[in-house]
Amino acid sequence: MKDKQLVVSAIKNGTVIDHVPATALFNVVTILKLDKLETMVTFGNNLGSKKLGKKGIIKLSEVFFKDDDINKIALVAPSAKLNIIRNYEVVEKKVVEVPDEIIGIVKCVNPKCITNNQPVTTRFSVVSKKEIKLRCHYCEKITNSENIEII
Ligand code: CTP
Ligand code: ZN
């Protein structure tokens, strides 16, 4: 390591989710259910970033996700980069990719949708990945990046 100190300490083994937009940090926590973890978790938010202005970072000791799980965060943090750490070294870097289908996680924008009135899990097909557009499987209304709400 250079003579600069890390703002949030290095971890020995696990996953570092870096370059998370500051405004999306807590949505990432919800999507990945990080509040349920019992292993060591450290967060930093509103850290300086040349690319994002302000960024968030999440360090998870001894946690390694399946790609399917990690890709869910692309809905709120498409810029996120994952770093897999083994014995203090970054052994792999991964980018996130918006999945083709989203089950749960997102609330349908239509107040009359069955998913907002009955205990039915939401389900969307992703019709646009760059500017997020999700079509509800039940009511066909489009939920987009402006009105997306994480549940
Ligand atoms: N990191 C960590 N623990 C380690 C090694 C790295 O927490 N044992 C973190 C670093 O703090 C950094 C991220 O993992 O946030 C990626 O590390 P590295 O690739 O060394 O940093 P950069 O070169 O800045 O990577 P990038 O430009 O891809 O963000
Ligand atoms: Zn709907």
pTM for the structure as a whole: 0.89
Cα 112 to ligand 2 centre (Å): 8
Same domain, 64 and 38: yes
Q: Are strands 81-86 and 14-21 parallel, antiparallel or unpaired?
A: antiparallel
Evaluate whether residue 1 is within a structural domain.
Answer: no
Model pLDDT, residue 113: 98
Question: Which of 59, 76, 95 finishes a domain?
Answer: 95
Evaluate whether residue 108 is within a structural domain.
Answer: yes
Evaluate whether residue 2 is within a structural domain.
Answer: no
d(CA 143, CA 132): 8
Same domain, 18 and 91: yes
Same domain, 88 and 119: no
Q: Atom of ligand 1 at shortest distance to CA of 18?
A: 15
Give the closest ligand to the alpha carbon of residue 121. Answer: 2
Domain span at residue 142?
Answer: 101-150
For residues 43 and 56, the answer to whether their CB atoms sit within 8 Å is: yes
- Which residues' Cβ are closer than 6 Å to ligand 1? 6, 10-11, 16, 18, 57, 59, 81, 83, 85, 88, 90, 93
- Could you read off the pLDDT tens digit of each residue along the chain, which spans 151 residues? 555 666 678 999 999 999 999 999 999 999 999 999 999 999 999 998 888 889 999 999 999 999 999 999 999 999 999 999 999 999 999 999 999 999 999 999 999 999 999 999 999 999 999 999 999 999 999 999 999 999 9
CATH number for position 54: 3.30.70.140
CATH number for position 109: 2.30.30.20
Residue keyed to tokens 């770093």:
83
Cα 150 to ligand 2 centre (Å): 14
Evaluate whether residue 8 is within a structural domain.
Answer: no
Evaluate whether residue 70 is within a structural domain.
Answer: yes
Evaluate whether residue 9 is within a structural domain.
Answer: no
Give residue 87's region: left, alpha or beta (phi > 0; psi -120 to 50): left
Model pLDDT, residue 6: 64
Q: Atom of ligand 1 at shortest distance to CA of 6?
A: 11
Model pLDDT, residue 51: 85
Model pLDDT, residue 30: 94
Model pLDDT, residue 26: 94
Cα 4 to ligand 1 centre (Å): 13
Token duo for residue 102 = 């989203």
